Structure 1
Amino acid sequence: MQKGHISIKKVLAGLKIEALNEMQTASLEAAKKGKDFILLADTGSGKTLGFLLPVLQRLDTTNPKTQALVIVPSRELALQIEQVFKSMSTGFKVTCCYGGHKREIEENNLVEAPALIIGTPGRLADHIRRGNIQLDSIEVLVLDEFDKSLELGFQEEVSFIVGSLKHLKKRILTSATEAVDIPDFIELDHPERLNFLSGTKSEALAIQYVQSEEPDKIETLFRLICRIDNRSAIVFCNHRDAVERTSSILKEKGIVNVFYHGALEQPERDAALCKFRNGTSNVLVTTDLASRGLDIANIRYIIHYHLPSTEEVFIHRNGRTARMEASGTAILILGPQEDLPPYVDAEIENITLPKTFILPEKPKWTTLFIAAGKKDKVNKVDIVGFLSNKGQMKKEDIGLIEVKDFFSFVAVRKSKASHTLQLIKDEKIKNKKVKIAVAK
């Protein structure tokens, strides 16, 4: 191990990973050769670690400046990668830059230069123009999900960012799809191509379809959700308006669900995803925004309420299930005038829905919003202690806790929630009175 560099073995031991998979090993080997490389791998295959380990190899503990930059197409993906890097416990500072929250927060985080910056194209370009990012020592650039990052609308900003990095020595591009041209401005130097894509078919992923008799497929969707009962499902729509309409009608019909799309404010997005993660809701209705960057365990069903616009979209949507050894099912709902897309095997199973239906049992969890987070020095242990001591909750009544910068979410058993809220309404966390309520 070079002086000033972190041991990969030590990081893997900390993550409790005994051995890297074939793709991760290949990316480390490519990185050692010093060449640029393109990593193509399925979602859920450990691709994030596949590029973070080569990045870590290049980071020098004796260098106090920013050394690597990761460009991503969405804030959710940025936050997920940041979380993975933090879990590696390297001691290197990392920060995220993305739209939808105050730029000043990020400016404060950039004053003491992070070794690694992860961000979306628009916000990164903004910081570069303002002189907030030290560019002269950045030697490694990663374009994660580059097929999306290089789409029209992002190209101009990505071109500006890459053009601002005058001392790059390594470029790493990753994607879960192949079909995209890489523009000349990336300046790849004879890149090695690592293709670990398995294609759309996976033994762990079953693909089925159901026929809707009506052009408006909402009744079919409702009965399908009743059929799959309480197992977690993501319902994909092609437009934001359709997401909200679908979510609203399902709610009226008695299906507990949350919705998620790009026009929501960041706290609303966080709340929706948290409720889906922690079991407050088993159904997430969303646009294709959720087809990338969301690493939520144990999603059993992907429902294509609207047919995907391209094969790439189909692959990315389905990539939310059947991840890391788990199995999953993708179901397409076809209207009377719709056919299976040409890239879907015509022999897939046609499922029929029973005439009678039973509403799924309501989730046993609800989510509390706490108006305090990391910046208030509040952590998960504080929240468990507070709810146990002041709210008289048993350990088994407290579920998943997520602590953000300025607020937190905690799943609690629904049957205990109102009593606990009464007990804690005048109590303090860390000697501070904070708002606590059922998350909207």
Structure 2
Amino acid sequence: MAETTFSIENTLSNLQIDELNEMQKASLEANKTSNGVVLLANTGSGKTLAFLLPVTQLLEKNRPVTQALIIVPSRELALQIEQVFKKMGTGLKITCCYGGHKRETEENNLLQAPALIVGTPGRLADHIRRGNITTTHIETLVLDEFDKSLEEGFDEEMSFIISSLPALKKRILTSATEAVEVPEFVGLQEPVKINYLTGEQSPALAVQMVKSDDRDKAETLFRLICYLGNRSTIIFCNQREFVEQVNTFLKDKGIVSVFYHGAMEQRDREVALSKFRNGSSNVLVTTDLAARGLDIPNIRYIVHYQLPTSQESFTHRNGRTARMEASGTAILILAPHEYLPEYITPEPATIELPADAELPQKPGWTTFFIGAGKKDKVNKVDIVGFFTNKGQLKKEDIGLIEVKDFFSFVAIRKSKASHTLHTIKDEKIKNKKIKIDIAK
């Protein structure tokens, strides 16, 4: 076998992980002997690494061709996988392909064939049709959360993509639900099934409920957030219009919150998630779009403002908290006309909210938008250097930095934000005048 690029020990060291969990070990073993593996495991259990490790062991260092393809149902999941792969430190190129931003950016990234491509079905099929992706050497295919891709109606695109892979040998499918039948077009024959689905929530997850006197529950939600304090909280609604209504209501009440749903422009999504990730806002109001693929550490509370439409939805929403070793709490708000779904047993403890609501402490960070990113050869070190030198900030006044292709976000301590903005207004990054402002 040709030389691969890394040892598992080095990868774990790069990821700052002491050892693999049982499911990841089982995946590695199964993939050594089988070309068809179905991996079933709960959300938040480390599935991404469970398929990336065996895939990366098959990638050959000195072959300048695309050797593996990962198909995912959402851009967020694609970006998360790309992030994990880069942290693994293999030195191999990965390219992420998804709708909602310029195709030309991806076309440039595909000119030199990446060893690994991850993307959503529609955009990948488009690139294949246009001849931007050379499929002749792709031997490994991963369908991550394939149940969700089928549910979203991507059958046609997935069938086209798989039929365009003449050299395909290995197929790895992952899902957080067991009930889905694998379509014939996947070409899976006598797969090894690894089932780590417990059917239970993480033992670190507590489930509670709040009974609301109001039919629309908005006032109860506000009082609940005041009660929980300024901890990282995701509020789930079932429809986009509710997301925006709830977010506006909370803002009017003095809560710092952001919202996120599928109809937003890509950049607006990025701004919202960045503010939530870096602590500029502790409250994210969203649809089930955020129930998968968003890997944001240390989310303390999941609030089901509108009840989940199914047990699966309940499980996926709750999978955003109590991930790996952390603990978390899921809270259902029940209006007078609503009943606890029968799949939630035993009955959760009821939270009694105090009569007086006291606004939680405001977040201590502000997010700055920087109009330059990776494609402008700007990195995190440049940004830290700029804000410490030109902005006269100490390192502890600079929080999480995220560098995208054409722009970046940086969290700045709120007490220093307006002074910093004034100090840097005529300064340059890498000898270029770049737009820097507070992210809207």
State the TM-score, normalizing by the size of structure 2. 0.98
- 1:21-420 paired onto structure 2 within 5 Å: 21-420=21-420
Distance 1:365 1:135 in 2: 45
| Local SS of the residue matching 2:151 | coil
| Local SS of the residue matching 1:150 | helix
1:304/1:333 contact within 8 Å kept? yes
The AA in structure 1 aligned to 2:425 is K
Shift of 1:227: 0.5
Distance 1:29 1:9 in 2: 16
* Alignment partner, residue 9 of structure 1: 9
Shift of 1:265: 1.1
1:340/1:346 contact within 8 Å kept? no
Q: How many residues align?
A: 439
Shift of 1:146: 1.0
| 1:119-161: CA deviation from partner (whole Å, max 9, x where unpaired) | 0010001011111111111111101011101125211111111
| 1:396-426: CA deviation from partner (whole Å, max 9, x where unpaired) | 1111111111111010111111111111100
| Local SS of the residue matching 1:303 | strand
Q: Does 2:434 align with 1:434?
A: yes
| 1:249-289: CA deviation from partner (whole Å, max 9, x where unpaired) | 00000110000011111111111011001110000000111
The AA in structure 1 aligned to 2:300 is R
2:73/2:152 contact within 8 Å kept? no
| Local SS of the residue matching 2:101 | coil
1:230/1:360 contact within 8 Å kept? yes
| 1:186-234: CA deviation from partner (whole Å, max 9, x where unpaired) | 1111011101122233320001111111111101111110110111100
- Alpha-carbon spacing, 1:109–1:439, altered in 2? closer, same or farther (3 Å): same
Distance 2:328 2:142 in 1: 30
The AA in structure 2 aligned to 1:65 is V
Distance 2:15 2:323 in 1: 18
2:66/2:138 contact within 8 Å kept? yes
Shift of 1:14: 2.8
Shift of 1:95: 0.2
Distance 1:140 1:342 in 2: 41
2:99/2:122 contact within 8 Å kept? yes
Distance 1:57 1:400 in 2: 31
The AA in structure 2 aligned to 1:30 is A
Q: Gapped runs of 5+ residues in structure 2?
A: none
Shift of 1:346: 4.3
Shift of 1:381: 1.1
| Local SS of the residue matching 1:153 | coil
The AA in structure 1 aligned to 2:384 is V
Shift of 1:13: 3.0
1:98/1:124 contact within 8 Å kept? yes
Distance 1:200 1:229 in 2: 28
Q: Gapped runs of 5+ residues in structure 1?
A: none
The AA in structure 2 aligned to 1:412 is I
2:34/2:191 contact within 8 Å kept? no
Shift of 1:92: 1.2
Distance 1:61 1:69 in 2: 16
- Alpha-carbon spacing, 1:16–1:229, altered in 2? closer, same or farther (3 Å): closer
| 1:64-112: CA deviation from partner (whole Å, max 9, x where unpaired) | 1111000001101101100100111111111000001000110111111
The AA in structure 2 aligned to 1:422 is H
Shift of 1:10: 2.8
| Local SS of the residue matching 2:95 | strand
Distance 2:417 2:16 in 1: 35
1:299/1:328 contact within 8 Å kept? yes
Distance 1:3 1:98 in 2: 31
Distance 2:208 2:198 in 1: 19
- Alpha-carbon spacing, 1:152–1:251, altered in 2? closer, same or farther (3 Å): closer
Distance 1:405 1:294 in 2: 19
| Local SS of the residue matching 1:418 | helix
